[in-house]
A and B are shown apart, each in its own frame.
Chain A
Amino acid sequence: MKTIGLLSVLFTGILLMIAVVDFPDWGDPHSPANSYLSTHYIEDVEEETAVPNMVTAVLADYRAFDTMLETSVVFVAGIAIFAILRSIDGTSLAGTTRRLQRRGRSKKEKRKGQGRNRRDEMVAAAEREAAKPDLIVQTTVRLLMPTIQLFALYVIAHGHHSPGGGFQGGVILAAGLILVAMSFGLENTLAQVPEKLSLQLGNLGVLIFAGTGVLCLLLGANFLDYHVLAAIYPATDEIMARSHSMLVVEIGVGFTVMSMLYLIYANLSSHGDLKKGL
C-alpha cells in the first residue's frame, strides 16, 4: 500500500513539475499578470469601484466568482464535519474516536490493574474541579465579548477602506462564540446560538452571495457583475453600486464563515453530540 502511495505521489509530482515549465518565469515582465492586469487593478480600482482597498475590490468584485466558491468551500467543510461527527441520538460516537478511546482504555486497564478505582476517583474529582465555572475567566469574557463582536462588525463593514472583510470578520465573530463556549460551557452557548440557527445562517450567507450574482443575471448583466444593481439601490450610480454590492457580499461571507466555524468547533469539541464541550 505504501509503495502504491509513493508511486502515485511521485507520478503526480512529476506531472506537476512538467506543468510548471509552462508557467511564465518568476518576475517575467511579459506575463499576463505583470503586463496589464496588475497595473489595471492598481491604477483604476478606485475610479471603477470607489473602493480604496484594492484587495477587497479584487476579492469581492473582479474575482467575485472565486470568492463565492471559497465561501462554498467553507460551507462544504462545515457540512462535511457535521456529516462525519454529528450523532443525532447522542449515544454513538464517531467511529475513529470510539476506536481510539477503546484502545486507550484497554491499554490503561492492563497497565494499572489493581488500585485503578481510587485513581479513577481522583481523576474524576479533579475533572469536576476543573469543570467548575471560573469567576475570573467568565467575568473577563463577559467584558471582552462586546468588544470582540464590535471589532468583528467593524472589520466586515470597513473592509473597503482598511484590511479586513467578510472572511476575517466572520472568523473573529466565530472566535468570540468559541471563547464563550469555552468559558461558559458549550450547552449554554448552544442555548443562545442554536445549531439550527447557525446552519440556517451558513446557508443564508452562501445564498446572499449567489443571490447577488443571480440578481445581476436577472437585470441583464453577467453573473456577479454588480454595476447593474444601481437600478435597485436607491440613489446610487453604477460605481457606488459596485461598492455597495461588495458590502452585501462580504456580509454573506461573514455569515457563512462565522456559523460554519462555530459549528465545526461545537462538533469537534463534543464528539458530535453537542452535550459537553471542552
Chain B
Amino acid sequence: MIWQFDLIILVFLVITSLIALRVRDLMSAAMILGVYSFLMCLLWAEMGAVDVAFTEAAVGAGLSTVFLVATILRTTRRSSD
C-alpha cells in the first residue's frame, strides 16, 4: 500500500462523485460514474483485493455504464431536478 497513491485516488473519487451529483446532463453523469467505478477499481487493486477490482472493472466501469447510456438514450437526457 502506498498512501500517497491512495490519497490521490480518494480525492479524485470524492470529486467525481460530487460532479456526478451536480451535473445536469445525465449522459455526462453516466460517463463520470464510469470514471468513478474505474478509480474505485484502481483503489481496490492497489489495496490487494484483485477479485473485487476485477468485478468492479467489468460491472461498474463496463456494463452498468452501457445500461445507463442505453436507458438515457431511450428516455430523456436532461435531469429534471
Q: Do A and B bind each other?
A: yes
Binding site for B on A (CB under 8 A): 53, 55-56, 96-97, 100, 104, 163-165, 167-168, 171-172, 174-175, 178, 261, 264-265, 268-271, 278
Q: List 25 A-B contacts (CB under 8 A).
A: A53-B51, A97-B74, A97-B75, A100-B76, A163-B53, A164-B51, A164-B54, A165-B51, A167-B55, A168-B51, A168-B55, A168-B58, A172-B58, A174-B63, A175-B62, A175-B66, A178-B63, A178-B66, A261-B63, A265-B63, A265-B67, A268-B67, A269-B73, A270-B74, A271-B74
Interface size of B by CB at 8 A reads 17
Q: How long is the Cα–Cα vector from A178 to B59 in the complex, in angstroms? A: 13
Residues in A with CB closer than 8 Å to B74 are: 97, 268-271
Q: CB-nearest residue of chain A relative to B73?
A: A278
Q: B28 at the A/B interface (Cβ < 8 Å)? A: no
Q: Of B59, B71, B76, which one neighbours A171 at CB under 8 angstroms?
A: B59
**Inter-subunit contact A268/B54 (CB<8 Å):** no
Q: CB-nearest residue of chain A relative to B49?
A: A55
Q: How long is the Cα–Cα vector from A232 to B4 in the complex, in angstroms? A: 53
Q: How long is the Cα–Cα vector from A270 to B75 in the complex, in angstroms? A: 11
Chief secondary structure at chain A's binding surface: helix
Q: How long is the Cα–Cα vector from A268 to B67 in the complex, in angstroms? A: 7
Q: How long is the Cα–Cα vector from A271 to B75 in the complex, in angstroms? A: 9
Q: How far is the CB of B2 from chain A (nearest CB, A)?
A: 20
Q: How long is the Cα–Cα vector from A100 to B51 in the complex, in angstroms? A: 40
Known A96-B75, A163-B50, A163-B51: A175·B58 in contact at CB below 8 Å: yes
